[in-house]
């Protein structure tokens, strides 16, 4: 007799107890949270000036520039990640440039560029910047320009108008862009598998390994996956609540 699921099927909370009391899984989760927070903050910081320029510069070609920004990311995700392996490798573009300039010898390349946390966060930031620019662009595009004119008439400088008018009104787009990066990168496993190595190992990699190795532990893998799903659901509810509060305040 064949069974779809391996092992015994009685209901038990033993896997949850093991997860809560395990320092390995929780430490890996918090490591992934820190990496995702850093990536999300860097991506928002890079995407905001781009979106600000496209939305408020007044250029007539802003939609063309937006298309140019997104166009390279219509190619395969795996190809773009593998391209970074070529750039960051010991014999890659960056190390070759350092060899050519004499800053490093051929026997001592910067091996930390690849298979590290740095490589994972760099590639993830590269991947998400254009997509985070979109919600911020939409928020800035819908900004009432008369508010900026009123701020100028009242004697506010451009910096003061940005801090007190533009930035607060664009915060829904900023928060949406932040979560747009944080939620998927928290469970990311493809990028760490390709460029992360052991130091770039993330929570999503652990879930994949528990399901896909030669000795799978589906019970523990399910607990880790459900825990991640609960965290994502909680963040989504918080953002929905934040958006409702902003809408009520704006009205």
- Distance of CA 101 to CAs 46, 84, 97, 151, 182, Å? 29, 21, 6, 51, 38
Please give the pLDDT value at position 1: 44
Q: How far is 177 from 134, CA to CA, in rounded Å?
A: 8
Radius of gyration of the chain (CA): 23
Q: How far is 69 from 120, CA to CA, in rounded Å?
A: 22
> What is the sign of the dihedral through the CA atoms of 176, 177, 180 and 183?
negative
Per-residue pLDDT 10s for the chain (251 aa) are 445 555 555 667 788 888 888 889 999 999 999 999 999 999 999 999 999 988 877 667 777 888 888 887 788 888 888 889 889 988 888 888 888 888 887 778 887 888 999 999 999 999 999 889 888 988 888 888 888 888 888 888 888 988 898 898 888 889 888 988 999 999 999 999 999 988 999 999 999 999 887 677 888 899 999 999 999 999 888 877 776 655 555 55
pTM: 0.85
Structure tokens at 241: 């609540």
Q: Report the CATH fold assignment for 14-250.
A: MetI-like fold (1.10.3720)
- On whether the CB atoms of residues 142 and 183 are closer than 8 A, the answer is no
- On whether the CB atoms of residues 239 and 180 are closer than 8 A, the answer is no
> What ranges do the domains of the chain cover?
14-250
């Amino acid at each position: 007799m064949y069974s779809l699921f391996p092992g015994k099927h009685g209901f038990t909370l033993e896997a949850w107890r093991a997860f809560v009391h395990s320092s390995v899984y929780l430490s890996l989760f918090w490591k992934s949270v820190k990496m995702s927070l850093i990536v999300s903050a860097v991506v928002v910081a890079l995407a905001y000036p781009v979106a600000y320029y496209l939305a408020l510069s007044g250029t007539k070609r802003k939609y063309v520039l937006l298309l140019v920004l997104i166009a390279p990311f219509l190619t395969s995700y795996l190809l773009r990640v593998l391209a970074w392996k070529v750039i960051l490798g010991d014999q890659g573009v960056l190390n070759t440039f350092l060899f050519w300039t004499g800053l490093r010898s051929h026997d001592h390349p910067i091996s930390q560029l690849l298979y590290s946390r740095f490589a994972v966060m760099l590639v993830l930031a590269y991947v998400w910047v254009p997509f985070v620019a979109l919600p911020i662009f939409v928020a800035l595009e819908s900004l009432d320009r008369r508010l900026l004119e009123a701020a100028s008439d009242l004697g506010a400088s451009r910096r003061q108008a940005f801090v007190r008018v533009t930035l607060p009104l664009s915060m829904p787009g900023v928060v949406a862009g932040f979560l747009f990066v944080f939620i998927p990168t928290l469970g990311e496993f493809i990028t760490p598998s390709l460029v992360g190595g052991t130091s770039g190992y993330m929570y999503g990699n652990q879930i994949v390994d528990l399901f896909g190795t030669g000795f799978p532990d589906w019970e523990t893998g399910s607990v880790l996956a459900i825990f991640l799903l609960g965290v994502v659901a909680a963040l989504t509810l918080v953002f929905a609540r934040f958006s409702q509060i902003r809408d009520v305040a704006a009205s």
